Structure 1
Amino acid sequence: MRVSEQQRDLTPLAPLGLGRLRSGPVRSQRPLYVDLLPPCNAGCPAGENIQAWLALEKDGDHEAAWRQLTADNPFPAIHGRVCYHPCETACNRVDLDGAVSIHAVERFLGDLAIEHGWQFEPPATRTGRRVLVIGSGPSGLSAAYHLARLGHEVVVRDNGPEPGGMMRYGIPAYRLPRHVLDAEIARLVTLGVRFEQNHRVTDLEAERVEGDFDTVFVAVGAHLSKRVDIPNMDAKRVLDAVTFLRGVETGEQEALSGTVAVYGGGNTAMDAARVARRVGADESVIVYRRTREQMPAHEEEADDAEAEGIRINWLRTIKDMGERDLTVEVQELDEHGRPHGTGIYEMLAADTVILALGQESDTAFLRGVAGVEFDADVVQVHPSTLMTGAPGVFAGGDAVPSQRTVTIGVGHGKRAARSIDAWLRSDEFVKAPRHDIIHSDRLNLWYFGDHDQRQQPELDPVERVKAFEEVVAGLSEQEARFEAGRCLSCGNCFECDGCFGSCPEDAIIKLGKGLRYEFNYAKCTGCGTCYRQCPVHAIEMVAESEFESEGAPVPVADAVERG
């Protein structure tokens, strides 16, 4: 007898008396719990698992949150103040009511750790291998921390009187108080890192042999200021920004007076102009040859400078210096956005000029090392391992091609430490795989509602230019937990019970706090209700064919025991 197409598609009935349903749908897809990469994690140059430590802080487990954070970045009290938080720019909550104030929560945890004296756990074993780190700025300190945690003996040599590099001698105290910097570095000493300050390295090979070092990480900062020739320039009236900021920190810089003109448009220029006001200048002005949109300084740096009364002269370049004034030429942009002179000149009062035109790294001591290659002042390294052309010599931070920020330097230090550890153990360095980044278009933002960001209080601009007191204050414990609670947990289950409550087949098993859930596929029909309601896209529907080991999909209802 001929079987119709309709009859052919019917699932065969099970014999009576077996305690099973006798018919049911054929599942074509099944739900899977997934862990996707949140954009904050992906955007962090230091490689922090931001979502994980925010979740711990939300639960009020401050020390666990701090330890999760410092597994990747040893300096949360520093980064909570000076990092430009690209994680917040990437935050999916921007599309709802404003980014999570990640840096503020990070600062809270860092300050709390200092208050309570929390220390890093020492390594379980020691390897007996010795590593020389040259430079005690953010990249060198980060590498020293991670290498020490891995059990290696670390010696940091630096030509400055105190460790910290540009964090100490370039970032003003009103942004990074020195007691905070000192406390974060002190933990490294307790961990076993040895610091040798006022030590200038001139012969790398000699240092390596005499100290019996197995490998070297070069993390020298960009301390050499770029110069420019200006007609009639009087050296007594002209300072370079790096030397000026360093002199203020060490107490060697004399007080200023009158009008100070800062030439440049980067973060260092903004700092120099703000510091000039604090050391006596009646007025600070900035001269920059491009537009605000083109300036290398971060937007908030320019905002803070202007809030303190500093005038920024956009599209201007210095052409000549008089006894107490400057001749500046007005610029305009061509069709490619490049500035050029217009032949229109203006006079600008200036008793002192500070040049902030960029810095170069002092890498001259590497010039004679076989295999090390350069591009101008920076060292060429393998993009993944950060090893130079010389075996066992690694470099990072300002010494290599990259943006020059504290957070990028810290990220380089962590990456270099892992590469150095693999090299010392004769293991192949394996780069972490990239994961699927979850964006807001895959979230159910309606679930969360509006909760505005907690704001950090700031000193009044009129008062803050009088001294170096910290400008921005931190969050309270309640505010920090509230802010951590604003995290959307993008792409990762946070146990909201939405799937558990919405499943029409009772196919989801709740495993207990912190253990999430699992699917009972014997009951699941693949309807996708759990997937559609999940607010954070922690569930995906996958074709059943990807799980079949043999034959056709099992009819779901026939597989479920009922008796």
Structure 2
Amino acid sequence: MKKNQHDMTLPPDLAGHSGTGPVRRQRPIYQDSLPPCNHACPAGENIQAWLALAQEERYEEAWQSLIENNPMPAVHGRVCYHPCESSCNRARVDRPVSIHAVERFLGDLALERGWKPAGQAANSGKRVLVIGAGPSGLSCAWHLRRLGHDVEIHEAGPMAGGMMRFGIPAYRMPRDILDREIARILSTGITLKLNQKVEDVLAARQQGQFDAVFMAIGAHLAKKVDIPAREAGKILDAVSYLSAVERGEAPKLGRRVAIYGGGNTAMDASRTARRLGAEEVMIIYRRDRDHMPAHGFEADEALEEGVKINWLRTIRDIDSTTMTVEEMALDENGRPQPTGRFETLNADSLILALGQDVDISVLQRIPGIRLHKDGVVDVDAHMMTSVPGIFAGGDMVPSERTVTIATGHGKKAARHIDGWLRQQPYHKPESVPVMEYPGLHLWYNTDADAVSQPILPPETRSGFDEIIGGLNAGQAHYEAARCYSCGNCFECDGCYGACPEGAVIKLGKGLRYQFDYALCTGCAACFNQCPCHAIEMVAEESR
């Protein structure tokens, strides 16, 4: 009797195959993501793009890319607190790319070589009034002019620049650099009228036949503080003091000067007083260093220059040359609480650096305008106030107050003013994911630490010469090359070399690559190799 013979070999599973090859279940695509530096920049600069151009030593192109979003790179490379660098993925490996130093290099090089901005839209026939020639007003005017509009700036003061001139000392912001950056902005055809304070916005709009208004009045009024005074000595506010120094009218403060406050303005006022001859300068601040609003490097430089900082102290009363201060202690929430322990400090002058407010009296003649609880004006997502055609930005709206944030406000407002004038609302480009450090495929780390900018030794900082130097061309090129190009292909050929099937096609310099899906097996070798994560693997469409 014949027995049935059974083959012990399991039959192959052919469900995942078509013909003789595998069925691809995923495919690679090239997809740009947003670098964290770009995402963090208040001015909205395309940092990765201009760093890539600088890396190729295409410096003028890099500068042209930069000024598409920020018209004053030589200024911002000096005074911006570079939140882009705090977000830089490279900081997880060694130190962040010194973005501000490369920006300064490009800005200075443009001034040195006289580069001119490329392109300007045809004249629209529309007129816009900008009130205030600080960073926000200048930025808005610049972008509006490039969009084809006629722009006139009315500035209440004798010089343009706002707090860049009257609030930041020359040792941080050299005036010749500031003047030349402003001159280039005005050279595009913008009209600037100095000593022209606008008292009535609606009247000024009507008289000048302006189609829209952008209000960018800076915070030049010092906040008030109530300190009991038995016999008041010389007391002045930091904003007025720094402004007087800029005008060449610095008041005599005496040998011993005290500054009350812990922000960047307090640091600037103390360091300025030292440069103008005060032998003893001290800062009095009610919290500790960890809770100080001033940036750490500002405090470090002040201490290096001989300024003394009295932490956890608050002034209780003042006499002609003495102050009674109370020692404070921080509670569990970091708030200062009185301790009942007092001491006496001596000073010939007291400078109050407790913050600034905006003079909003101009708003009182605008019926229907809505004010914010913080004493500034409310604006919508388009930077427009509750009155059609009147926009605002910078210190006038609820926000942090820095030069770069104000500059970003000016650009944003200009785009929305342009859309409002043309009746074609501006729509922000669709957002893309931010490429954070865990998403990178850094299969090797380069040994390339950041370049440090030169700085004057403390003992030589007796005047208002700039204390921090710039990079040379070699250093700027090196620093730009440290960029990881997070989320954006930089044509390293890694995917081209990694593909085992030859499915990656090079399209030529600047054109990147494309995939030949007839050859691609979806193995993800290109994805895993790409250091900047400019490739994503997506599910194959069902067939």
CA distance in 1, matches of 2:68, 2:13: 61
State which of 397, 400, 404 in structure 2 corresponds to 1:400. 397
State the AA in 1 paired with 2:323.
L
Tell whether the 8 Å contact from 1:225 to 1:240 is kept in structure 2 after alignment.
yes
How far is 1:187 from its partner?
Answer: 0.7
Q: For 2:443 and 2:17, locate their aligned partners in 1 and report how far apart those are by CA, in whole Å.
A: 40
2:307 corresponds to 1:301: no
Higher mean Cα deviation, 288-297 or 44-53?
288-297
Task: Give the letter aligned to residue 479 of structure 1.
Answer: Q
Amino acid across the alignment from 2:501: E
Alpha-carbon distance change, 130 to 64 in structure 1, aligned in 2, over 3 angstroms: same
**CA–CA distance in structure 1, aligned partners of residues 11 and 129 of structure 2:** 76
Q: How many residues align?
A: 533
**Residue 506, structure 1, aligned to residue 502, structure 2:** yes
Q: Which moved more, 1:60-69 or 1:430-439?
A: 430-439
The aligned counterpart of 1:380 is 378
Gaps of at least 5 residues in structure 2 are 1-9
Whether 1:312 and 2:309 are equivalent positions in the alignment is yes
TM-score (normalizing by structure 2): 0.96
Q: Structure 1: 5+ residue runs without aligned partners? A: 14-22, 553-563
Show CA shifts across 1:437-490 (max 9, x none).
Answer: 0011111234341201011000111111x1000000000000000000000000
Contact 1:226 1:357 in 2 (8 A): yes
- Check whether the contact 2:35–2:434 (CA below 8 A) recurs between aligned residues: yes
Greater alpha carbon shift after TM alignment, 445-454 vs 169-178: 445-454
* Residue 222 of structure 1: aligned partner: 219
Contact kept, 8 Å, 2:233 with 2:320, in 1: the verdict is: no
What are the equivalent positions in structure 2 for 1:131-210 lying under 5 Å apart? 131-210=128-207
| CA shift in 2, pair 1:122/1:441, >3 Å | closer
CA contact 2:231–2:319 (8 Å) conserved in 1: no
In the alignment, residue 246 of structure 2 is paired with which amino acid?
A: E
Q: Flag the 1:7–1:496 CA change in 2: closer, same or farther, 3 A.
A: closer
C-alpha change, 1:7 and 1:45, in structure 2 (3 Å) is closer
Is 2:418 the partner of 1:421? yes
- Local SS of the residue matching 2:365: coil
Greater CA drift, 426-435 or 296-305: 426-435
Query: In the aligned structure 1, how far is the partner of 2:225 from the partner of 2:22?
Result: 78
CA contact (8 A) 1:362 1:377 kept: no
Distance 1:173 1:293 in 2: 27
**Alignment match of 1:291 (pick from 283, 288, 302):** 288
List, as ranges, runs of 4+ consecutive aligned residues in structure 1 with deviation greater than 6 Å.
none
Match of 1:447, SS state, is coil
Q: Which residue of 2 aligns with 1:9?
A: 15
1:106-140: per-residue Cα shift (whole Å, max 9, x none)?
00000000001112235241001000000000000
Deviation readout 1:306-360 (Å, 9 max, x if unpaired): 1212111111000111332211000112232211211100111211100001000
Show the counterpart of 1:211: 208
251, 262, 270: which is aligned to 1:254? 251
Q: Residue 43 of structure 2 aligns with which residue?
A: 46
Cα RMSD after superposing both structures: 1.4
Superposed CA deviations along residues 399-418 of structure 1, whole A, max 9, x for unmatched, are: 00001000000000000000
Q: Are the aligned partners of 1:255 and 1:280 in contact in 2 as well (CA < 8 Å)?
A: no
Taking structure 1 as the reference length, the TM-score comes to 0.93
Structure 1 position 474 matched with structure 2 position 475? no
Aligned mate of 2:522, from 523, 526, 529: 526
Residue 304 of structure 2 is aligned to residue 337 of structure 1? no
Distance 1:405 1:293 in 2: 20
Following superposition of structure 1 onto structure 2, how do residues 424-463 of structure 1 map, counting pairs within 5 Å?
424-463=421-460
The percent identity for this pair of structures is: 57
Q: Aligned runs of 1:48-197 on 2, under 5 Å? A: 48-197=45-194
For residue 375 of structure 2, what is the amino acid of its counterpart?
D
